[in-house]
Structure formats: structure tokens, C-alpha cells
Structure 1
Amino acid sequence: MAQIFLVEDEERVVAFLKKALEENGHLVDIITDGAEAIKKFPHKPYDLVILDIMLPYLNGIEVCRHIRQKDKKIPILILTALNSVDDKVNGLNIGADDYLVKPFHLKELQARIDALLRRNSSDLAQVLVLGDITLNTSNNTVEREGRKITLTNKEYALLELLMNNSNKILSRQTIAEKVWGIDFDTGTNVVDVYINYLRNKIEKGFTEKYIHTVIGKGYIFKAEQI
């Protein structure tokens, strides 16, 4: 799952991309003009930028240049109707990682997104430390303040998902699909039950609480990375 910053002003394209990306488990923030994009980009962590070039107020080339100045590593995929060699070279030269011309096949778009995310995730550490919780993905162990915490497989998967998306609100549907691999049934409270299990194991007896309920939206793991 990735948090995607989508900058696109064509309503039909926005609706199509949002539906397709969310069906693949991604979280999507939509911006429809270039000036707004450069205002909002620094205020939230993203895993990928999908950027049109022909935008109102400020074109995608300037937006790409601004984003690259703010973040040297975030993958940027330009998605545009401009298909000349010069257009592609210009986009890549100002900091884009890939360039896909409209119209495009959804499978190709997803393949390019997956490739960019894999490339960016190769630098991620196997040990994730947030606050005083340490999660080691190489051996599936969890410690808090140096004390080992025993979790079931699903509890561990839930904690890993929350920690990998710290400070992001995850809906119950997203959690269910990522941890259980199922379509979310609004008649079940399995997510809430396991959140409670996890809270009892990683928060009981400790002052600081990390897992917070966002009423009407889902859950968020609030902590700073060490």
C-alpha cells in the first residue's frame, strides 16, 4: 500500500485513477491545479507522485521541479498527453523517474507504479523504530523499552501495517484487506477486536499510547521515527 499524491485536472481521468489505485490498496490524495500542489506537497508524507503536465495556474514541469527540490528520493511519474521525445527528455531531466503517455493501459500504469515503489522501498531498513517500539521485519519480533512482546501472526501483521503507515489514518476496510486479504464486511468487527488485542499487548502498563481511533475514519499510529 502506498500513499499517492495525484496531481491531475481532468475529472474523468481523476475518477478513473482514484478508483483503480484504491482497488489496488493505495491511498490517494487528489490535487487539481499546480499552484495548490506545491502548497500541499510538503505537509504530508507520500510514497509516490503521479503528475500531469498540463495543469491550471502552474504547469507540471514547475511542480515536478519544486517537489524534487523538497524531496530528492520520492518517485515521480509523469502522466501526460505530451508525447514528443523532447517532452519526455525535459520531464526526466527536471527530476521525474518515469513518463507515461495518455492514453495508457491500466496494467502498464500499475506495473510502472509497482516498479517505482519497489525501487524506493529497497532502501528501507529491516528494523523499524517508532517511539520506544522496535519492530524487526527480518525475524518478526517486537520489543517495547527492550521488553519482548509476543504477538500472533495477525497481530504482528496489523502492527507492521500501522507502523509502516505511521501518522496516516487507515480505514477499517484498508486494514482488513491488507491484513486478512478479504473484502471488508461492515457486519464484522474483526478489525476493532484485533486493534483491542494489540493495544492490550503493546500499550497496557505503558504511559504513552500509540494507536488512536479516528471516529468515522479508522485508526492511526502516532509516533515519531527514531
Structure 2
Amino acid sequence: MPLLIIEDNRDLVQVLSEGFAENGFSVDSAFSGEEGLEKISRGSYGCIILDIMLPGIDGLQVLDTVRSQGNEIPILLLTARDTVEDRVDGLNRGADDYLSKPFDFRELVARVNALLRRTADRQHSVLRCGSLELDPVSRECRIDGKPLSLRRREFDILELLLRNENQVFTRENLISSVWRKEYNGSSNVVDVHVKYLRDKLRPFGCDTLVVTVRGVGYKMNCPEYS
């Protein structure tokens, strides 16, 4: 998957794009926060390199929006803001790494490679919640070792909730993360698919793992959080 560079300095974007291309990466770019969010919503990227000081929506607002949608794509903040407070704030808001300008391009490449390896390891691990196991790679679900057949949206909802255990997702978050551009505008589409999912989990006594947070949305409540 390509990298996405969100940076308003076009000369820097060109230099970075050429450098990453020489290291075997494909690169896409955006020059404002708004353009970056639009590309994230309709594209698939391996990592985002994000400047903080952008025109319009700044980089931290982009970061907040991406994380509020449940999107776990690796994000590296590449910025001239270099105080400890800036770094702590960026990391606490969901950035995976932080590199201050000026920087050595070799270090940037190494950091991006590290984030991609970490993501690959996480995606290839089996997700577990009590007796339920979900394999994102083979897209198989098992409960007590018995296979459970799930449709695409059911699987995607369950995977998102499992990856973000005990985190509440609004219906809008789920639509943005699971349906994306395929959303048809149905007001109860999330509730319907969660019902289907629970119906399939119920014979195994696992339907209560998907919890309704009244007036907000849904979360995964694994036994250790009971």
C-alpha cells in the first residue's frame, strides 16, 4: 500500500516522494488537512506522514478525526514543533511516532519501516475475546474451536470492535470505518448488522460481548472488563 504525505510545503513533498520512491515505496500526497481527510476516506494507505501546521484543518485535527473514526492506520507526525509538550500531545492524541524538522531522511525511512512492520505483526495476530477467536488474515471466526460463518459487514464490525476492545464506537464511527463510501444512507444499517451479528453469537452465549452503550453506540466487552 502507498504512503500518504500530508504537507503544505510542495518542495518538501517532492523531495520526500522522490526519496521514498527510491526506497521502493509508492507515494500519494495532499497539501491541506481537508484534502488529506478526503484521500484517507477513499483510499487505502500503509502509513500517513502528517505535518501539524497545515492551512485550514491542522494536522492534529486530522489526527483526531482519523482516530475518532476507529481508523488505526499508522500516523507519523513530521513537524517543526519540537518541544516535549508538543511530542507528548501528539502521541497522546493517537500518533504512532513523532519526528521533528529538520530531520535525516534515513531516520524517517527507518521509522516508517518500523511502523509498517508493527502493523503487519498486529494484523496477522489472531484476535481473542473469551472463547471467541477472529483471524483477520484468513477472515475466519471460531468460538470454542467451532467455525462461525459471518458476512462481510458482520466480520468487519466484529474485527473493529475487537481491535479496539472496550472503546465505544458511535454509529457514525462504524459507518465511516466499515461502510465508508458504500453507505446507502439507511438510518438503522448499523443496528441491523449488529443484530445479525448477535443472533449468530447467541447460540454460543457470546452475544453479550457486543454491548450497547445507550444513546452512543457499541463496544466490545471482553470478560476481563466485566
AA at the equivalent of 1:193: V
**What is the aligned-residue identity percentage?**
23
Aligned to 1:77: 98
User: What is the CA–CA distance in structure 2 between the aligned matches of 1:14 and 1:215, rounded to whole Å?
Assistant: 34
* Preserved contact between residue 76 and residue 97 of structure 2 (Cα < 8 Å): yes
Aligned to 1:123: 121
CA 1:163 to 1:13, structure 2 compared with 1: closer, same or farther past 3 Å? farther
* Preserved contact between residue 170 and residue 219 of structure 1 (Cα < 8 Å): yes
Q: Secondary structure at the match of 2:141?
A: strand
- RMSD (Å) for aligned C-alpha atoms: 4.5
User: What is the CA–CA distance in structure 1 between the aligned matches of 2:62 and 2:85, rounded to whole Å?
Assistant: 25
* Preserved contact between residue 170 and residue 218 of structure 1 (Cα < 8 Å): yes
* Preserved contact between residue 142 and residue 150 of structure 1 (Cα < 8 Å): yes
Aligned to 1:213: 212
Deviation at 1:189, TM superposition (A): 0.4
Residue ranges of structure 1 left out of the alignment (5+ in a row): 29-44, 68-73, 99-114
User: What is the CA–CA distance in structure 1 between the aligned matches of 2:73 and 2:152, rounded to whole Å?
Assistant: 27
Matches within 5 A, 1:53-64: 59-60=85-86, 63=88
Aligned to 1:189: 188
Aligned to 2:58: 16
Q: Secondary structure at the match of 2:180?
A: coil
Report the TM-score, using the length of structure 1 for normalisation.
Answer: 0.54
Report the TM-score, using the length of structure 2 for normalisation.
Answer: 0.54
Structure with greater helix percent:
2
Aligned to 1:150: 149
User: What is the CA–CA distance in structure 1 between the aligned matches of 2:136 and 2:145, rounded to whole Å?
Assistant: 16
User: What is the CA–CA distance in structure 1 between the aligned matches of 2:164 and 2:55, rounded to whole Å?
Assistant: 27
User: What is the CA–CA distance in structure 2 between the aligned matches of 1:191 and 1:127, rounded to whole Å?
Assistant: 24
AA at the equivalent of 1:17: G
CA 1:224 to 1:121, structure 2 compared with 1: closer, same or farther past 3 Å? farther
CA 1:52 to 1:138, structure 2 compared with 1: closer, same or farther past 3 Å? closer
Q: Secondary structure at the match of 1:168?
A: coil
User: What is the CA–CA distance in structure 1 between the aligned matches of 2:117 and 2:196, rounded to whole Å?
Assistant: 34
Residue ranges of structure 2 left out of the alignment (5+ in a row): 1-43, 45-49
AA at the equivalent of 2:117: R
* Preserved contact between residue 203 and residue 210 of structure 1 (Cα < 8 Å): no
Deviation at 1:190, TM superposition (A): 0.3
User: What is the CA–CA distance in structure 1 between the aligned matches of 2:206 and 2:174, rounded to whole Å?
Assistant: 26
Q: Secondary structure at the match of 1:135?
A: strand
* Preserved contact between residue 176 and residue 183 of structure 1 (Cα < 8 Å): no
User: What is the CA–CA distance in structure 1 between the aligned matches of 2:114 and 2:56, rounded to whole Å?
Assistant: 20
